[in-house]
Structure 1
């Protein structure tokens, strides 16, 4: 069971140069992602007099986030695994692919990357507000929680299938593209209801810079639950089962 593979790690591991380089890569990847994604929304608002709630605004947000995530995952993949998301890191932790202490290092770097990206955007745009995530007027926190769970489940399941699974083969080449596509598609689904975060760091940066905290727990609990469920299901039914079947084959 995946829970048996969970490791806390040691302080020395977290201070290892490789771990610090990986954390720096996560910081830069998240900065790139949030700067492009959040910045596109701010640009659209300026061009349309705050018309981001229109269908065109939703499509623009989906494209910007999908493209930016494709790049952010690609540039970090060979250094840190290209998580670019605390929920993805949590899913990797549940599956035993990263230690707790290294996960915490990633989470700090990811959240800092988001905050710095939003600060840079605020400065570069002459003080325009970075839009914090918030629920639509007809959406309850429980509606949003389910949305975030399901959308992040789809994201982390895609990460496992295309990047984590040892049998991925050549499909691993398209992992960043597939991850960007599922995020863009989910934004088209949930963007009008709760902003479609799927990423606690993405919602954390704008909230800090604008100091706007509307139901922040939804954007942490939902993605973490969705990521944990996806990791458990993929590890139990696809990775572990295949490994058990291989071990039961008669030797030559």
Structure 2
């Protein structure tokens, strides 16, 4: 399966998953994680979004949460729960869009996330995957789950044709795996704009451009994205007034 998608030894891969959509997997989530680790090898990198919420960003931040890289749960599915329990994983410090992973480069990709005031800023693992020719693997989920679509928005800032954030940022107390504490300021996605976000609006374009490849897998499908090419293409489309918010903005 991974051979058909072009996952290779040494690759840097951000994994989004909904493995319950695939049906039965030999070895379950732990077996799948072991397979992914074997495929990229010790020189590769595996990253997994481990967000502590599965509702609107605003609703979560309004609960005045505290974030702990050691103990905050992941609400991103079974595979990510296994990732957080696996020895040797590294987790980024961010109140809403934390990422965990494995690999010799994990600290570079994850260690400075708390310095950004938007979830997908220049120190974020999402941006660094795009800048360093990484890949985005979708297992049992589609483009609606590819949060790296937001990288282009944060990078373009005021030049992006849609204002995706509320005016008021939130500041959250956060702690790292080694117990260091930070007050992290983050912008919050506008829930109205989030409600019309639809990554599938760019699927046909991505497929035709060779940015996205998908194959049947179990009861669903798997897909692979070129993170850098996706970012470049999204900027090109945005400058033509085409975004993943197209149902509203056209």
Question: What TM-score does the superposition give when structure 1 sets the normalisation length?
Answer: 0.27
TM-score by length of 2: 0.27
Q: Give 1 or 2: higher strand fraction.
A: 2
Q: Quick check: which one's helix share is greater?
A: 1
- Structure number with greater CO (CA < 8 Å, separation at least 6) is 1
